[in-house]
Amino acid sequence: MSGRILVISCCVLLATLVSMAQDKAVLIPKPIPNSPLKVEDTEDVFGQAYRWFLEGEVTMGAEKIRALITKAGFQLAADKYYVVVANFTDSFSPIGMFHGSSDFLGTRMYGLKPDNLYFIFITRQPDPKTYISVLATSKASPFEENLLPFLSLFIPIVPSGSAVGIEAAGPTTVIDIRQFNIPKAFLKNSDLSFLVKKELAEEKVLARAIFDNTSLERWSYGIATAITSIDDVDIIVGSDGTIIVRPKPNLDLATFAVLNYHFKAVDTKAKSFGNSFHLMGGIRLVDFIEPLIGVGAGFDLGFFDLALFAGYSAEFANELEAGYKIGQRIQEDVDPFKLKIRGKPRFGLQVKFP
């Protein structure tokens, strides 16, 4: 019973740590020095980008946009995030993101720094007027989000726009670049909702998108079912007061609640075998305490992973005190045992979250 009480106590403590209020804030980026930049687009790269986007060739269109930004003298850093709006027309202004080799239409961020998020607005309008705001909403990490559903297994817990022809414009393309200063509350786990208009009073929205900023995660938890290859026995006092030997089942099955630490931080939304190697520790779900430690690796199956693991558990068993022997009958108030810690190899499967 003491083991079960310990598990429940740990669950309640973790659930308490998870309960926290969401922070929200509206973020307005500031122009970088010398912005907006201007490019003499004699080869009509902006028009080429428009046609690629119009035909659904987003990768080709994004490469043209990259080329324009580079031609303007601004270097894109692989470790920074650039949310880009290409204002071809007021009815066709695709929004996307440049980050390393990520897809332009990807909306996934992996933890921000205070100064590594930018907004870039590209247009043929000679004097661009743009209102950009971001509603930032902090959120729990995937580990925290899935914790209460996991704990409930053991204890009851109450818990845009159609394309039109491009407008005629001169050869000068304008690139407006702005930088955010992200508050600490929104750096690791938050949703960033971008809203782009020509002016605040405009009813028409040029572009909008929600970006999922979720840090890489090193922690997860799961349910592990293990077997042991050791033939064990328990020494107990029988109902008639005799010291007897009780054999334990061969290949004894055991169920553990475990906590995992990943050697390499995991993208919980795009997991792979290579980054699923983890150290694990837990406790057996029985009326006595039996801790477990081991290593494992698994495969992503959507909401959960299926992992193989190997490790050792420590079982607290009885050992006879000097002067006592098997078959001896003792008085009720006599304790013939001393504590023995018995290591047991464990091999099995784990269902791992998140």
pLDDT per residue as tens, the chain (354 positions):
444 555 555 555 555 554 455 799 999 999 999 999 999 999 999 999 999 999 999 999 999 999 999 999 999 999 999 999 999 999 999 999 999 999 999 999 999 999 999 999 999 988 888 999 999 999 988 888 777 777 777 665 444 444 444 444 447 899 999 999 999 999 999 999 999 999 888 889 999 999 999 999 888 889 999 987 666 777 888 878 888 888 776 677 889 999 999 988 888 777 665 567 899 999 998 877 889 999 998 877 766 788 899 999 998 888 888 888 888 888 777 888 888 888 888 999 998 877
The total number of residues shown for the chain amounts to: 354
Residue 197 has, within 13 A of its CA and on its CB side, a CA count of 12
Among residues 258, 349, 267, the alpha carbon closest in space to that of 306 is found at: 349
Question: What integer pLDDT is reported at residue 164 of this predicted model?
Answer: 43
What is the CB neighbour count within 10 angstroms for residue 198? 18
Q: Where are the domains of the chain?
A: 21-214, 218-353
Contact 354, 217 (CB under 8 A): yes
Q: What is the pLDDT of residue 168?
A: 41
The candidate with the shortest Cα–Cα distance to 152, out of 15, 344, 312, 351, is: 15
Residue closest to 28 by CA, chosen among 180, 177, 176 = 180
Quick one: how many helices (H) and strands (E) in the chain?
5, 19
Contact 352, 334 (CB under 8 A): no
Q: Following DSSP, what letter does each residue of 102-134 receive, concatenated?
A: --TT--EE----TT-EEEEEEES-SS---EEEE
Q: Where are the beta strands (DSSP E) in the chain?
A: 24-27, 30-31, 37-40, 81-87, 95-98, 108-109, 117-123, 131-138, 172-179, 189-197, 207-214, 217-227, 233-237, 243-247, 253-266, 278-284, 291-300, 305-320, 337-353
CA angle 123, 129, 130 (to 5 degrees): 85
* Residue 318 amino acid letter: N
The phi, psi pair for 297, rounded to 5°, reads: -155, 150
Dist CA 284 CA 292 (whole Å): 7
pLDDT at 169: 43
For residues 330 and 347, the answer to whether their CB atoms sit within 8 Å is: no
Q: What is the pLDDT at residue 30? A: 95
